[in-house]
């Protein structure tokens, strides 16, 4: 780019926007991105570094595929919410602000909680069908990581709300201590509990981050998803798990089982 500018004699116009404010707003976001990448990669790194078997890293990598796929949903939600919420905050449209926050939290919870129930009752069959029986040990950490995906999803909603309100520095200050906690948990749990320990470290620190972000969101806007919605979703997920647990589906029949349970 610099070579093209020099060759074509293109000059940079004088900035007409508040560059300092833009940089100060963007730096905390950069810090948050670094924290996210480290937290989401620390578990696999510890598995590779601490566990003696190369198979363990392969099994955990499969579990992480499911985790990453589940996290695409809340990322899509907050990506769609951010510009609309920013506009609502700028206009001080209280009704729109409350609806956006509440519906975003509800959507993330209602979508991911049943996924956890589905994988809890037939995760081993799904993993074996898709990746082969050799990767069946990935099923248990996958369920734990899906709980982590739910936690990270709720955290991202709160995170996005506060950034839209112009408080990225607050988000960074609140979440920075979670990273060393994540590292410490991985180092403590992986040697003792293996893949489940790594998944638990990720899910637990994600849950702490979610609680912190939702609390800050509540302080800022006094809005949270209805507890009744959470209760109904948990009951529905429990029913799905119970039926799935009682109805075995070996081999490819697990696809029929998943379709039926998803229809509930």
SS (H, E, C) the chain: CHHHHHHHCCCCCCCCCCHHHHHHHHHHHHHHHHHHHHHHHHHHHHHHHHCCCHHHHHHHHHHHHHHHHHHHHHHHHHHHHHHHHHHHHHHCCHHHHHHHHHHHHHHHHHHHHHHHHHHHHHHHHHHHHHHCHHHHHHHHHHHHHHHHHHHHHHHHHHHHHHHHCCCHHHHHHHHCCHHHHHHHHHHHHHHHHHHHHHHHHHHHHHHHHHHHHHHHHHHHHCCCCCHHHHHHHHHHHHHHHHHHHHCCCCCCHHHHHHHHHHHC
**Separation CA 121–CA 139 (nearest Å):** 10
Residue 145 has pLDDT above 90, yes or no: yes
Burial of 182 (0-12, 13-18, 19+ CB in 10 A): buried
**Separation CA 260–CA 247 (nearest Å):** 11
Question: Which among 160, 169, 194 is positioned nearest to 46, based on CA atoms?
Answer: 194
Element housing 242 (H / E): helix 227-246
The domain segmentation of the chain, as residue ranges, is 17-263
pLDDT number for residue 223: 93
Residue 10 has pLDDT above 80, yes or no: no
Task: Please give the average per-residue pLDDT across 57-73, as a whole number.
Answer: 93
Percentage, residues of the chain above pLDDT 70: 93
Confidence class for position 29, pLDDT limits 50, 70, 90? very high
Confidence class for position 14, pLDDT limits 50, 70, 90? low
Question: Which among 135, 149, 158, 113 is positioned nearest to 40, based on CA atoms?
Answer: 149
Q: Quote the pTM value.
A: 0.88
């Amino acid at each position: 780019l610099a070579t093209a500018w020099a060759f074509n004699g293109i000059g940079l116009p004088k900035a007409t926007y508040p560059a300092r404010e833009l940089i100060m707003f963007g730096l905390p976001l950069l810090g948050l991105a670094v924290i996210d990448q480290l937290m989401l990669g620390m578990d696999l790194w510890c598995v590779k570094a601490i566990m003696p078997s190369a198979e363990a890293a392969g099994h955990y990598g499969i579990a992480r595929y499911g985790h990453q796929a589940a996290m695409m949903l809340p990322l899509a939600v907050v990506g769609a919410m951010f510009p609309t919420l920013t506009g609502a905050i700028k206009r001080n449209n209280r009704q729109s602000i409350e609806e956006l926050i509440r519906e975003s939290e509800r959507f993330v919870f209602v979508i991911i909680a049943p996924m956890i129930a589905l994988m809890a009752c037939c995760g081993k069959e799904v993993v074996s069908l898709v990746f082969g029986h050799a990767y069946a040990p990935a099923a248990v950490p996958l369920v734990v990581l899906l709980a982590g995906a739910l936690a990270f999803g709720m955290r991202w909603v709160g995170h996005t709300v506060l950034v839209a309100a112009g408080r990225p520095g607050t988000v960074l200050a609140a979440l920075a201590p979670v990273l060393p906690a994540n590292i410490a948990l991985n180092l403590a749990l992986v040697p003792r509990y293996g893949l489940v320990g790594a998944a638990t470290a990720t899910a637990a620190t994600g849950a702490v981050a979610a609680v912190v972000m939702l609390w800050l969101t509540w302080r800022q806007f006094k809005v949270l998803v209805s507890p009744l919605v959470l209760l109904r979703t948990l009951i529905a997920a429990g029913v799905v798990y119970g039926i799935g647990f009682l109805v075995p589906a070996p081999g490819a029949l697990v696809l029929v089982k998943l379709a039926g349970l998803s229809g509930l």
